[in-house]
Amino acid sequence: MSADIISLIVKATGQTLYMVAVAGLIGSLFGIPLGVFLATSGRGELFPAPSVNKVLGAIVNATRSTPFIILVVAIIPFTRLIAGTSIGTSAAIVPLTIATIPFVARLVETAIREVDPGLIEAARAMGASPIQIVFKVLLAEARPGIASALTLTIVSLIGYSAMVGAVGGGGLGDLGIRYGYQRFMPDVMAVVVVVLIVLVQFIQSAGDRLARQFDKRARPR
Amino acid sequence: MNMAIVKNRARSPIAVAANDEPATLATVQPMVAFEQVSKRFAAGRSSAEVVALDNIDLVVPRGSVTGIIGRSGAGKSTLIRLVNGLEKPSSGRVLVDGIDVAGLDEKSLRAVRRSIGMIFQHFNLLSSRTAFDNVALPLEISGTDKRSIEQRVSPLLDLVGLSDKRDRYPSELSGGQKQRIGIARALATEPKLLLSDEATSALDPETTRSILDLLRKINKELGLTVLLITHEMEVVKSIADHVAVIDGGRIVEQGPTFDVFTGHAHETTRALLGGLAGMHLPEFLTSRMSKEPQAGSRTILRVIFKGENATEPMLARLGSDLGIEVNILAGAVDEIAGRPFGMLVVSLRADDAKIVQAQHFLASHGLASEVVGYVR
């Protein structure tokens, strides 16, 4: 394999990591609070706002049911507004982030809902405010679940990032399509696949380890 | 029957304390008072409301251990949650140390809650926090600084006997140890009232015993009022000075534990007391017993002795004074709120007139008795 190809692969890996990192970070920044809100704003919960909860839930569902490649082109005007352009790696981060937020939100919501309601009651009995309950009880207790949720998010983002080649986003997926498939270079395709597998394996095991570290619940030793 | 044991227990200091209580009751404001409290839940869109609590009047004397006993679904959980405002009554007042918690907004309620500790059936410890950090949680919530937290938590872990477990996570502790941490946590903010929501229901009998001893100790040494709900007879019997029996959302009986349990007027109380000494007649007897006397049958008498009344050898005197032959068939002595309570099932070979005479004799010495049947 020529040095050119190798540098292409290195560059594409860098682009993928960049898109995934930024979209993952911003997506989590919005997604985690949204998930907490979704999990706590039902009737009779900590921040009761059932109608807001329903509306946000519907938006989350709508975003999640739109195929990612459609989302990418559908929000091009919004992308242009945010990134100044609709083409390129940085621009691709916008749709990736938009797709990440509801993804994270739903997973975090599930993680939070798994926290024993008895703990919320105990905290209320101690005189905790709803905000204190969120930070000291819900987020603390849901940490293992949230770590797993973010791991899953990043792995999914790597998959999504392969599609942004459609808007010139670059990255490993794009490389695989353009060189591996369109230029009949099976060795490039193979390397792309291997790099992706290694990447996902690494992230998954790092995430699992983090979740295990957070998890102080009973487990066989 | 070993009357010597009964005699010793009758003189125990706890029994004396229980006797003294009514005097202080009238003069001191109770720690908790329910005044005509009702709680209704909307059952569904179309169906009628469910009445969880119906016009409850109940007093928890300051410094007492008061037990509320009832079957599951009787409304006990709702009742105890009214005290710290986790539930709001539909009508009536819930006074905690003179403050009507039902009328408080969430913010003032939070302040009141910090003066009320609560422990739970399933402990409700945070799995992500060590024993120490769990006990520290209420202090963090109330904004206590780190140094004061350290100074407060360590002695509490000492008090519950778990200083060596401070850095353990709940998953590494046994049920009893978890509840001890729960108790330490409930005491962290130096509350004046401790609510116990079925705190021993998930524990084995031996651990239950040790937890109850700890609660008793806290009540005595810290002067903390304890309000507990339970479906377990043993719990109320062993540590509650006062008891209320709840059934179908109503208080059917309340008063000093010994009086309520040994008087057992209400059928719910009777049902709950099923396990109490001698309430159930042994099988060998019930299978042969008839309701009506027959020629040559012997009378089965249940003799109930309470506390101080059981100090004289009454049964022996039935023989010597009245010439009635007494045969002991079954018996048990129990301790309720620190006072002995016992029951003997005896058979007497005597005619009806003699039986009446015997019952009078027992009654004149403070022993209640009832004819339960006849055997040949």
> How would you write chain A as a 3-class SS string?
CCHHHHHHHHHHHHHHHHHHHHHHHHHHHHHHHHHHHHHHCCCCCCCCCHHHHHHHHHHHHHHHHCCHHHHHHHCHHHHHHHHCCCCCHHHHHHHHHHHHHHHHHHHHHHHHHCCCHHHHHHHHHCCCCHHHHHHHHHHHHCHHHHHHHHHHHHHHHHHHHCCHHHHCCCCHHHHHHHHHHHCCCHHHHHHHHHHHHHHHHHHHHHHHHHHHHHCCCCCCC
Three-state SS at B344? strand
pLDDT (0 to 100) of residue B330: 82
> Of all residues in chain A, what percent carry a pLDDT higher than 70?
98
pLDDT-based confidence at residue B312 (cuts at 50, 70, 90): low
Report which of A25, A43, A35 is spatially closest to residue A60, judged by C-alpha positions: A35
Strand partners, B242: B66, B256
**Percent of chain B whose predicted confidence (pLDDT) is above 70:** 88
Residue predicted with more confidence, B315 or A39: A39
Distance CA A139, CA A133 (A): 9
Q: Angle CA(A137)–CA(A143)–CA(A144) in degrees, nearest 5? A: 135
Per-residue pLDDT at B160 exceeds 50: yes
Burial of residue B289, with CB atoms counted within 10 A of its CB: 0-12 exposed, 13-18 middle, 19 or more buried = middle
Phi, psi of A110 (to 5 degrees): -60, -45
* The residue to which tokens 């040095």 are assigned: A3
Tell me the C-alpha distance between A17 and A97, whole Å. 14
Per-residue pLDDT tens over the stretch B119-135: 999 999 999 999 999 99
Q: A141 vs B126: CB contact, 8 Å cut-off? A: yes
What is the sign, positive or negative, of the torsion defined by CA atoms of B210, B212, B213, B215? positive
Identify the band that residue B267 occupies on the pLDDT scale cut at 50, 70 and 90. confident
A81-91: pLDDT as tens digits? 999 998 999 99
Phi, psi of B6 (to 5 degrees): -55, -45
CA gap B39, B94 in Å, rounded: 12
Task: Quote the CA–CA distance of B131 and B153 in Å, as a whole number.
Answer: 10
CB B37 within 8 A of CB B53: yes
Strand partners, B244: B68, B254
What is the pLDDT at residue B22? 47
Residues in a beta bridge with B193: B116, B225
Task: Please provide the CATH number assigned to the domain covering B283-375.
Answer: 3.30.70.260
Contacts of B109 in chain A (CB under 8 A): 127
DSSP helix/strand/coil, B271: helix
The 8-class DSSP code of residue B325 comes to E
Q: Measured between CA atoms, how close is B242 to chain A, in angstroms?
A: 24
Mutate to test the interface with B, among A114, A124, A126 (most CBs of B within 10 A): A126
Q: What is the mean pLDDT of residues B322-345?
A: 82
Token readout for A127 is 């005189």
d(CA B357, CA B348): 12
Residues in a beta bridge with B56: B37
Give me the pLDDT at residue A23, please. Answer: 97
pLDDT single digits (tens) B177-208: 999 999 999 999 999 999 999 999 999 999 99
Q: A24-28, A122-126, A174-178, B169-173 — which is least confidently predicted?
A: A174-178
Q: Answer yes or no: is pLDDT of B137 > 80.
A: yes
pLDDT above 50 (res B157):
yes
Kind of pairing between the strands at B298-306 and B339-349: antiparallel
Per-residue confidence (pLDDT) for residue B20, from 0 to 100: 44
Q: What is the DSSP letter of B349?
A: E
pLDDT in tens, A107-162: 999 999 999 999 999 999 999 999 999 999 999 999 999 999 999 999 999 999 98
Integer Cα distance of B372 and A104 in angstroms: 71
pLDDT over threshold 80, residue B300: yes
pLDDT in tens, A172-189: 999 999 998 899 999 999
Q: Which of B248, B203, B212 is nearest to B79 (CA)?
A: B248
**In this predicted complex, what is the ipTM?**
0.89
pLDDT tens profile B354-370: 888 888 888 888 788 88
Mean model confidence pLDDT for chain B: 85
CA separation for the pair A171, A9 (Å, rounded): 9
Any chain B CB within 8 A of the CB of A21? Answer: no
Domains within chain A, CATH numbers bracketed: 3-214 (1.10.3720.10)
Please tell me what DSSP assigns to residue B251: E
Task: Return d(Cα A29, Cα B2) in angstroms, integer.
Answer: 73
Residues 132-191 of A with CB under 8 A from B: 132, 136-137, 140-141, 143
Closest CA to A121 of A137, A110, A103, A145: A137
Choose among A127, A129, A216: nearest Cβ to B169. Answer: A216
Residue B308's pLDDT is: 65
- CATH 3.40.50.300, applies to B13-275: yes
SS3 B17: helix
Interchain pair A216, B170: CB under 8 A? yes
Distance, CA of A135 to CA of A33 (rounded, Å): 11
- What pLDDT score was predicted for residue B47? 66
Is any Cβ of chain B less than 8 angstroms from the Cβ of A125?
yes
| Residue B264: closest CA among B374, B356, B370 | B370
H-state helical runs in B223-351: 233-239, 257-263, 267-272, 283-286, 314-322
Chain A: residue whose CA lies nearest to B121: A118
pLDDT at B277: 57
Beta carbons of A38 and A53 less than 8 angstroms apart: yes
Over residues B307-319, mean pLDDT: 71
pLDDT for res B21: 45
Interface test with A, best of B127, B165, B174 (most A CBs within 10 A): B127
Q: Which residue has the tokens 């195929």?
A: A67
Out of A118, A123, A216, whose CB is closest to B171? Answer: A216
Contacts of B103 (CB under 8 A, 6+ apart): B93
Domain-wise residue ranges, chain B = 13-275, 283-375
Per-residue pLDDT, B114 = 94
Cβ distance of A132 and B170 shorter than 8 Å: no
Q: Note whether A121 contacts B120, CB cutoff 8 Å.
A: yes
Give the chain A residue whose CA is nearest to the CA of B82: A125
Helices marked H in chain B: 3-10, 13-27, 76-83, 106-113, 131-141, 146-159, 175-187, 205-222, 233-239, 257-263, 267-272, 283-286, 314-322, 352-364
Residue B129 DSSP class: S
Q: Which H or E run contains B52?
A: strand B50-60
**Edge-to-edge strand order for the sheet containing B250-256?**
B116-120, B193-197, B225-230, B65-69, B242-247, B250-256
- Give residue for tokens 């082109």: A73
Share of chain A above pLDDT 90, in %: 86
pTM, two decimal places? 0.84
CB contact under 8 A, A129 and B137: no
Tell me the two tokens of residue A155: 């792995």
Which residues are within 8 A (CB) of A178 and not within 5 positions of it... i.e. 6 or more apart? A165
